[in-house]
Amino acid sequence: MTSESLGAAASDFPALLRRHGLLNEAALAAPALANPSAANFTPTQATTILAFKFTGGVLVAGDRRATAGNTVVYDRADKVLEIDRHSIMAIAGVPATAWEMARVLEHSLQYFRRTQLQEMSVDGKVRALSKLLRDNFGFVVQGIGVVVPIFATYDFAGAGQARLYFYDAMGAQFEVAEYAETGSGSPAVRGVLFYENRWGKKPLQKLSEQDAVTVALRALDTAADADTATGGVDRNARIFPIIKIISCDGIKTLPDKQIAARFKSTVA
């Protein structure tokens, strides 16, 4: 019941869960799709997310669609997940794995803060997600549990700045200076963001919040046009992308109304 182990192990939440048998490792040894029926199994997938830095911090946006093969499973999926007061994990990939990963990460950071009486460093948080991705590699090899997240946070060290990372499915993290995108709609998004950053009226980092929202909505609209798995704006059902902004003050979720107005005036 009490933790008699000392040091780092005592503050590691996944290790605690394993000790209690509450966290299963993805079976690395299992051969890929050994079961013939597994070959027909199509996991649910979440799609396009993007993030970029602007004058007000870092903006993270995602469409709302989840698909399995050609089927739309869900049109109100939330892929932009708050991990703590200043961190967001946005996910593309299999939500079953990704949401669980986000849950473990969220609890890990809180557990660390509560037990160690200090906030985990940004490097520590980035590494914690990397470890979760590596632990998930068994599912990746089997082709049924790929998760490719973006991690955005605010770093209070030094003068303070927004930090932005994307990952590959094996857990390598890459810090970016300007923008990141993943998911099936990401080629289109990447083109839009590259274009805006290079030849737009202003580079992304100089954009006001209003203009940043416009760019995010246009990028997602472009992706939805090119990629069937990306949900666009559903005007009848009033489903809009999720947009969150991280600054030194914390995380702000833009209300649908504001996004709708912006969409109407600058995108539609």
Partner 1 sequence: MIEEPYRWVEAIANRREYIETQLAPGSPIAALSFRDGILFVTVGRARQKLFEIYDRIAMGAIGHPGDIERLRMAAIELASTEGFTRSAGDVSLRRLAFYSLSPLLKTAFEQVYGAPYLARMIFAEVGAAPADDLFLRVEYDGAIAAGGSAADAKPPRFSVISGTARATERMEELLRRDHDSNNTLKTALRVALDAWSVGSMTADEESAGGLPSPEALRQRRAEEFKGATIEAGLLERSSTSAIRYRQIDAEELQGLTSA
Q: Give residues in contact with partner 1 (CB under 8 A).
A: 1-3, 10, 13, 16-17, 20, 22, 85, 103-104, 107, 110-111, 114-115, 117
| DSSP E strands, 77-219 | 80-84, 87-93, 147-155, 161-167, 173-176, 179-182
Instruction: Select 17 or 30, whichever has its Cβ closest to partner 1.
Output: 17
The Cα–Cα gap between 70 and 164 comes to 32
| DSSP character at residue 4 | -
What is the number of residues in the chain? 268
251 touches 88 (CB < 8 A): yes
User: Which of the following is catalytic: 47, 182, 214, 230?
Assistant: 47
Tell me if residue 42 is catalytic: no
How far from 93 is each of 62, 90, 168, 201, CA to CA, in Å? 12, 10, 11, 33
Where residue 51 falls (left for φ over 0; alpha for ψ -120 to 50; beta otherwise) is: beta
| Pairwise CA distance, residues 239 & 28, whole Å | 39
Residues labelled catalytic:
47
